[in-house]
Copies of this chain bind each other. A is one copy, B any other.
Amino acid sequence: MLARTIRPMLLAVASAPEPCADCDIRQKSVCSAVSDRDLHRLASITLVKDYPKGKIFIEEGEPATDFFNVTSGTVKLFKMLPDGRQQITGFATVGHFLGLGVADTYTFSAEAIEPVTVCRFSRSKLTKLLDDFPALEKRLLETACNELVMANNQILMLGRKTARERVASFLVSWSESTSPCDPPAARLHLPMTRGEIADHLGLTIETVSRTFSRFRAEGRIRTPTTTDVVLIDRPWLEHVAAGEG
């Protein structure tokens, strides 16, 4: 009896592998709000997609047909002004859900800044699913609230912090978002360019570069490579980031 019910499922998996069942980042994402028992319903509306570096897979203004969940790689989320000025509202890494803060059309664009894998959900299907999974809806609300907190922190940063404070804030917060352990690892990898950091902090490439150099000269950080940073004096960086520098 047990075997009889399980075997067909295994066969089904073998013939059309369910993306969610053996997903190893599920507990990091909103998907963990769906129980194992219901997972096939989530899987049935999920499509796993790979995007190469540079691929823009969400374009501001286009009809918002899909939600996404990042399962590997780093994505930049950004808005642009007509003359090309760009503002990166955030970087999304593994576990991040994309598509909140959207009306009928996307209100931001998303670009893979390194090879990225996402789970793509049909927006209308996921919305319907929410009626049956209140826990998932609760989880999305929670996620939206967290993003609001982050957004307000970025608003404070852009509105009132100096270039030094912004770069310090970025280093500390990127370190926390990529290093789950406590205390966070001292060495960070920066998959984004100086230009992307600048577009995130409301600065120019040159100012970001100069600030890195100055932190280096002051012995607060080391940069073994352009894309790797070691936080030598994290307490000081946190102090500066908090506006007490």
- Which A residues form the contact surface with B (CB < 8 A)? 79, 81-83, 85-87, 89, 100-103, 107-108, 130-131, 134, 137-138, 140-141, 144-149, 151-156, 158-161, 199-202, 242-244
Nearest-Cβ distance from residue A1 to partner chain B, whole angstroms: 35
Among B81, B103, B138, point to the contact of A242 (Cβ < 8 A). B81
The reply to whether A244 and B155 form a contact with Cβ atoms under 8 Å apart is no
The reply to whether B144 and A202 form a contact with Cβ atoms under 8 Å apart is no
Docked pose: A159 CA to B199 CA in angstroms: 8
The reply to whether B202 and A160 form a contact with Cβ atoms under 8 Å apart is yes
The reply to whether A107 and B152 form a contact with Cβ atoms under 8 Å apart is yes
Q: Which residues of B contact A86 (CB under 8 A)?
A: 160
Known contacts A156-B79, A159-B202; A144/B100 CB under 8 A: yes
The reply to whether A243 and B156 form a contact with Cβ atoms under 8 Å apart is no
The reply to whether B149 and A103 form a contact with Cβ atoms under 8 Å apart is yes
The reply to whether B145 and A89 form a contact with Cβ atoms under 8 Å apart is no
Known contacts A87-B156, A156-B87; A101/B202 CB under 8 A: no
